[in-house]
Structure 1
Amino acid sequence: MAAPFIEELVQDLSNRLSASQPTMRADSDYYEALFRPKALGVATPPEMRHMVSAIGWPRVYLDSLEERLDVEGFRLAGSSEADQRLWSWWQINNLDEESSIGHLEAMIYGLSYVTVTAPDETAPDQDTPVIRVESPRSAIADIDHRTGAVRAFLRLYPAPAGEPTADEAATLMVPGRVYYLVRSSGPMSRWRVESEVEGPDLVPVVPILNRERLSDRMGRSEILPEIRSVTDAAARTMMNLQAAAELMAVPQRLLFGVTRDEFESDPDNPGPVLDAYYARIMAFENEAASATQFTAAELRNFTDVLDQLAKQVAAYTGLPPQYLSFHSDNPASAEAIRSAESRLVKKAERKCRMFGGAWEQTMRIAMLIMDGEIPQEAYRMETLWRDPATPTYAAKADAVVKLVTAVTPDGRSVIPVERGRIDLGYSEEELREMEQWDNQSPTAQLNALMSVANPPLATSGSKAEEE
């Protein structure tokens, strides 16, 4: 590609990224509880409108969903165990932590990106690709809507310290090439190519899409309009609650027959007037004076509205009642808690299916970069996820013990012990450690000695019998 075309492509992608910033900023503000509703309470004095509260329901929803998305490995077709090589790539690139950030970014903004590159020549480990998670706030991809493939990818970042004449830098990935560009600030500045290197035949970028639709392949934020409107309503209600608490929550007193002079706190200084606080006692010598008070405002109408809004959020998101601080007086049983979480668990399972395809494609691209080809069994790769449900450990252990010890009519266990350990959620390292302990047990060693001392008899028609 010619340099002018590259500069035009970078400028086009940069403009598209800048145009998307207001929408993504609003998404982030709702998640961070920084968004302030425009329509404030009409009955609230202007000087008290700064008291609008931060309602964090979107963050409670997304964090509760993301906390149930944990990758535990990858399994190739025809294998019953997780692939150790792919899992080592995952661990070396710190994707246990980075994947959580990528999932959260995808749910906030509608998408995030994963890039795969070959290891640098100076890297100590030349057998591990570099896998990074990128935010859509600083990166953008040009996706072919017909095939879903990424045609170009741009990532913006501050210029390195060695570029005193540049303020911004960019990395552009296109099929076969990777370009590094810089530009200085100013309306007339242009992107210029500093260097370029050879890349794979495809763009090694995989988008993690959230709420993808047939009519919208770019993904959508999980903070839906109905969640935003209820959050805004709760913020306004909370602000009005604070205003009412400041003005009318304490009974207001009325004094009759008292002149202003009697309110002077210092007779020698007639300027200051007595400040009447909540517990201040006021006494006057005027026999004609009398006092009365208004009834304090009832604030329950505000709290009832907040409870109803929280129930609307629960209906939209599937969050259990206890996540939003409203529940019955009687504590829920374990079965009731699992029943309340059923929608949230099913939603998490759908996210696992949606995001799992992106991680499988990431690992296939990594194999292509490191090996030069993608093996056939990798096209039916499976992402292994931790169970998003929250059963108690005792209940899960009881179910596994029953399945391991149960015997079928032909004398076999329903599931082997190894499968039971996997179902209990032990990691690959813990499973290998348990296998070593099993081999070191006296029973296993005795069985090994017995098998050596008493080899199995040859069956009729075998080669040993013929000899």
Structure 2
Amino acid sequence: MPEFAVQSPEWWRDRLYDKLVKRSNETKVFDDYYECEHPLPHLHERARAPFRRLLKMARANYCELVVDAFVGRLEVAGFQSDVEGDRDQEAWALWQDNNLDGGSQLAFLEAAIHGTAYLMVSPTPSGGFRITPEHPTQVIVEYRPDAPGEPAAALKLWVDDWTAKLCCTVYLPEWIYKFEAPEPKTGSTGRPQWERREVPGEPWGAANVLGEVPFGELANRPRMLKPGASELRSVTGIQDRINKTLSDRMMTQEAAAFPAKWATGLEIPVDENGQEIEPFDVAVNKILVAEDPGAKFGQFAAADLTGYLKAKEEDVRDVAAITSTPPHYLLGSLTNLSAEALKAAEAGLIHKIYQRRRFLEEGLERTMRLAGFASSQARIVWKSPEWRTEGELVDALVKMSTLGVPREVLWERWGATPQEIERWRQLNEDALTAAMSGDLAAEYGPKPNATTDPLAAAPAPDGG
């Protein structure tokens, strides 16, 4: 393979391609666990064929519950601006125009599974911006070693089904370069045979009008010298233990859960070939009868499955403890739990959500900045991850109002979006204006006319 100049388009292409393939291979296992494609539990070679059907049934996917419990409470409610004007409304309109209510949820889900996801900002011919969620197996961003957090280059990789081509685009702060290669065969290794991808009407090496790498990275639980990590990183081993316990339990049910019968003092009949015949067809609706007075019948005790059930429950509790997932989400049991106990059980999950949101917010703010909104013009507003009854919430807000807390703050604590708060404020102003107009008309409006209103000409009582 030829050696390219450092930081040339080809150098970045090969470097980022290798990193993207390596990361995709490492995170594929977490995607498989989320999709319930767990490896089958280990069995002795002789037992695999008879029990393969049971093995496929012995998969309870707790990995999906762990991720969904976390991602389900990540929701952007709107934007707030610290400057005069309608910049927050414009930011929300851009968000809605790009269908990011659902798009952001897709990105959050992939970030929780793979450790990272991306939002791409693309200028449109009309002068606006298009924002799209990008999968971590198709996009990778590298940052400058001397300035952590500042993107140096990015690669977007995809397969064009229409042309059977593997395509990639290298994004640098000043330029954009496109390449293509024949679609690699399944299982092939090594780098593709890249060629320049010529697009009619575009020069190869187009100018990057944004002046920056056009991606905002949504990193999940990153560290200072390490990228984002999957929420399932510490769970896959426990999931395998759960599957093994389930498979052992099902095999025990298959072989020993039905009480085995025994009989003594019987003459075993044989067939015409001298082979013994089973004297009884045992079933729940049949009675065993023998004419021999010395015959005795009995049964062995059925296998006790309590140990398997307790072992699975302990493994599920380990999943809950390690991932800060409320135990009742995974165990599916609520027994005489008070509201305070439920809130305490969810405290770990709420803390994790607030912690993860800080890093996700960095990528969202960068995305909005690439689309022309400064942090002071479009600050992210999240929906509260805490679930409380309306009675509890109203009682708390009423008490806060007695302390002089502004109504807009109370509305925000209630869970209203910035757009709803603005609409409520406008409705209050309109109602106040209408009320003041009515009071002024009543006090300073036209006086009754004596010629048209008989009551106006009548003398007042008591000479008044």
TM class by shorter-chain length?
Answer: 0.7 to 0.9
The answer as to whether partners of 1:307 and 1:326 remain within 8 angstroms in 2 is no
Aligned equivalent of 1:184: 182
User: Aligned to 1:201, which of 198, 207, 211?
Assistant: 211
Aligned equivalent of 1:170: 168
Aligned equivalent of 1:462: none
Q: Alignment partner of 2:252: what SS?
A: helix
Deviation at 1:248, TM superposition (A): 1.0
1:352-371 maps to which residues of 2 (within 5 A)? 352-367=357-372
Cα distance, 1:451–1:376 mapped onto 2, change above 3 Å:
farther
In 2: Cα distance, 1:185 partner to 1:382 partner: 42
Deviation at 1:251, TM superposition (A): 0.5
Deviation at 1:85, TM superposition (A): 1.0
Cα distance, 1:238–1:201 mapped onto 2, change above 3 Å:
same
TM-score by length of 2: 0.81
The answer as to whether partners of 1:159 and 1:182 remain within 8 angstroms in 2 is no
Aligned equivalent of 1:297: 303
Deviations 1:231-279 (A, max 9, x none): 11111001111111111111001233445536x7xx9xx9997764555
Letter in 2 for 1:103: F
Aligned equivalent of 1:391: 388
Aligned equivalent of 2:88: 83
Deviations 1:259-306 (A, max 9, x none): 5536x7xx9xx9997764555544455555432211011111111111
In 1: Cα distance, 2:293 partner to 2:86 partner: 93
User: Aligned to 1:403, which of 400, 403, 411?
Assistant: 400
Deviation at 1:11, TM superposition (A): 3.5
Q: Alignment partner of 1:207: what SS?
A: strand
Q: Which moved more, 1:299-308 or 1:392-401?
A: 392-401
Q: Alignment partner of 2:298: what SS?
A: strand
User: Aligned to 2:251, which of 240, 243, 255?
Assistant: 243
Letter in 2 for 1:135: H
Aligned equivalent of 2:36: 33
Aligned equivalent of 1:108: 113
Deviations 1:5-38 (A, max 9, x none): 5345334432332233332210111212211255
1:63-462 maps to which residues of 2 (within 5 A)? 63-78=68-83, 83-119=88-124, 121=125, 126-147=126-147, 148-159=149-160, 161=162, 163=163, 166-185=164-183, 189-195=193-199, 196=204, 197-199=206-208, 200-216=210-226, 218-225=227-234, 227-258=235-266, 261=269, 276-277=282-283, 279-325=285-331, 327=333, 329=335, 331-367=336-372, 377=376, 382-404=379-401, 406=402, 414-441=404-431, 444-448=433-437
Cα distance, 1:279–1:172 mapped onto 2, change above 3 Å:
farther
Cα distance, 1:111–1:328 mapped onto 2, change above 3 Å:
closer
Q: Alignment partner of 2:371: what SS?
A: helix
Letter in 2 for 1:198: A
In 2: Cα distance, 1:42 partner to 1:324 partner: 33
The answer as to whether partners of 1:41 and 1:240 remain within 8 angstroms in 2 is no
Counting aligned pairs with the same residue, the percent is 25
Deviations 1:423-449 (A, max 9, x none): 2112344334433432443x5413256
Cα distance, 1:106–1:417 mapped onto 2, change above 3 Å:
same
| RMSD (Å) for aligned C-alpha atoms | 3.3
In 2: Cα distance, 1:341 partner to 1:41 partner: 41
The answer as to whether partners of 2:141 and 2:154 remain within 8 angstroms in 1 is yes
Deviation at 1:450, TM superposition (A): 5.5
Cα distance, 1:146–1:75 mapped onto 2, change above 3 Å:
farther
In 1: Cα distance, 2:417 partner to 2:123 partner: 28
Q: Alignment partner of 2:385: what SS?
A: coil
Question: Is there any run of 5+ residues in structure 2 with no aligned partner, and where?
Answer: 445-464
Letter in 2 for 1:114: L
Q: Alignment partner of 1:34: what SS?
A: coil
Q: Alignment partner of 2:309: what SS?
A: helix
The structure that has the greater radius of gyration is 2
The answer as to whether partners of 1:106 and 1:112 remain within 8 angstroms in 2 is yes
Cα distance, 1:179–1:107 mapped onto 2, change above 3 Å:
same
In 1: Cα distance, 2:285 partner to 2:343 partner: 49
Aligned equivalent of 2:458: none
The answer as to whether partners of 2:269 and 2:277 remain within 8 angstroms in 1 is no
Deviation at 1:44, TM superposition (A): 6.2
Q: Alignment partner of 1:146: what SS?
A: coil
Deviation at 1:312, TM superposition (A): 1.4
Cα distance, 1:361–1:21 mapped onto 2, change above 3 Å:
closer
The answer as to whether partners of 1:250 and 1:278 remain within 8 angstroms in 2 is no
Deviation at 1:382, TM superposition (A): 2.9
Deviation at 1:129, TM superposition (A): 0.8
Matched residues, number: 423
Cα distance, 1:201–1:249 mapped onto 2, change above 3 Å:
same
In 2: Cα distance, 1:376 partner to 1:45 partner: 59
TM-score by length of 1: 0.80
Cα distance, 1:355–1:249 mapped onto 2, change above 3 Å:
same
Aligned equivalent of 1:62: 67
Q: Alignment partner of 1:194: what SS?
A: coil
In 1: Cα distance, 2:80 partner to 2:334 partner: 44
In 1: Cα distance, 2:52 partner to 2:193 partner: 43
Question: Is there any run of 5+ residues in structure 1 with no aligned partner, and where?
Answer: 368-373, 408-413, 456-467
Deviation at 1:43, TM superposition (A): 11
Letter in 2 for 1:33: C
The answer as to whether partners of 1:40 and 1:49 remain within 8 angstroms in 2 is no
Cα distance, 1:15–1:257 mapped onto 2, change above 3 Å:
farther
In 2: Cα distance, 1:385 partner to 1:145 partner: 32
Cα distance, 1:135–1:451 mapped onto 2, change above 3 Å:
farther
